[in-house]
């Protein structure tokens, strides 16, 4: 039997970067050190189960204060931020805990492409702009992106939902603000292109 593997099979760039950092943290871990990921590092149940068997904890935002408080010279704590990133508030908390306790170490494994969207959202935060985010409203990446934009913002799953919102009586149709549209990085390209087409047909300042 012949098995052919596609040239682009395997983890994407952002996921590979995150898993490499996790492996590096495990290789450098000291006796007594806790290695944890903030949420599942990546969307791969088999991989995440393998981490659990190797002693890597999966923690939530609510666990961070206790982890930071217990970290000491004999029991340091390393927390890796998942590839999909975290909220602005969580990032600030991690940095604050690290500044207060040298034995608490956060490692940001957020995909650089997600980080770029964070920067776009932050740089465009203004009273005269509105953020239109195409993606799944409850996805950790989307929740994180929203936190970086200060102002009016909406989430739409696809072009059809966006179309309903920007009609004259829709939510976005009521605003005079300049729209800034971004998307969840795993969004289907065809969906993104349809959303762009729809937005540009109505908003000349998009």
Residue 35 near residue 41, CB atoms below 8 Å: no
Question: Is the pLDDT assigned to residue 169 strictly greater than 60?
Answer: no
How high is the mean pLDDT of the chain?
Answer: 88
Q: What is the pTM of this model?
A: 0.85
Q: Is 141 a catalytic residue?
A: yes
* Apex 148 CA angle, 147 and 151, nearest 5: 85
Predicted local distance difference test score (pLDDT) of residue 173: 58
Identified catalytic residue from 23, 24, 49, 141: 141
- 5 CB neighbour count, 10 Å cutoff: 7
- Residue 202 CA to residue 66 CA, distance in Å, equals 50
Q: Which domains does the chain have, with CATH numbers?
A: 13-110 (3.40.50.11270), 113-202 (3.40.1010.20)
pLDDT tens, position by position, 85-113: 999 999 999 999 999 999 999 999 999 99
**Tens-digit pLDDT profile for residues 18-70:** 889 999 999 998 899 999 999 998 888 888 899 899 999 999 999 999 999 99
DSSP the chain: ------TT-S--HHHHHHHHHHHHHHHHPPTT-EEEEES-SSS-HHHHHHHHHTT-EEE-GGGHHHHHHH--SSS-EEEEEPTT---HHHHHHHHHHHHH-TTEEEEE---HHHHHHHHHHHHT--TTEEEEEES-TTSHHHHHHHHT--SEEEEESSHHHHHHHSSTTSTGGG--SEEEEEE-TTS-HHHHHHHHHHHHHH-TT-
């Amino acid at each position: 039997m012949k098995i052919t593997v596609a040239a682009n099979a395997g983890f994407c760039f952002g996921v590979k970067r995150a898993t490499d950092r996790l492996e590096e943290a495990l290789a450098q871990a000291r006796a007594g050190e806790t290695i944890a990921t903030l949420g599942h590092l990546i969307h791969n149940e088999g991989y995440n189960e393998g981490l659990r068997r190797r002693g890597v904890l999966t923690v939530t935002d609510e666990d961070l204060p206790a982890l930071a408080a217990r970290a000491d010279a004999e029991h340091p704590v390393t927390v890796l931020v998942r590839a999909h990133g975290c909220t602005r508030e969580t990032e600030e908390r991690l940095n604050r805990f690290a500044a207060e306790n040298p034995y608490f170490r956060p490692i940001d494994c957020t995909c650089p492409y997600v980080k770029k969207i964070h920067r776009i959202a932050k740089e465009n935060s203004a009273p005269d702009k509105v953020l239109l985010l195409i993606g799944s409203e409850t996805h950790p990446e989307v929740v994180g992106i929203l936190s970086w934009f200060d102002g009016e913002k909406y989430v739409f799953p696809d072009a059809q939902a966006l179309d309903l919102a920007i009609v004259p009586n829709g939510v976005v149709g009521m605003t005079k603000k300049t729209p800034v549209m971004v998307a969840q990085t795993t969004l289907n390209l065809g969906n993104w292109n349809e959303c762009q087409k729809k937005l540009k047909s109505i908003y000349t300042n998009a």
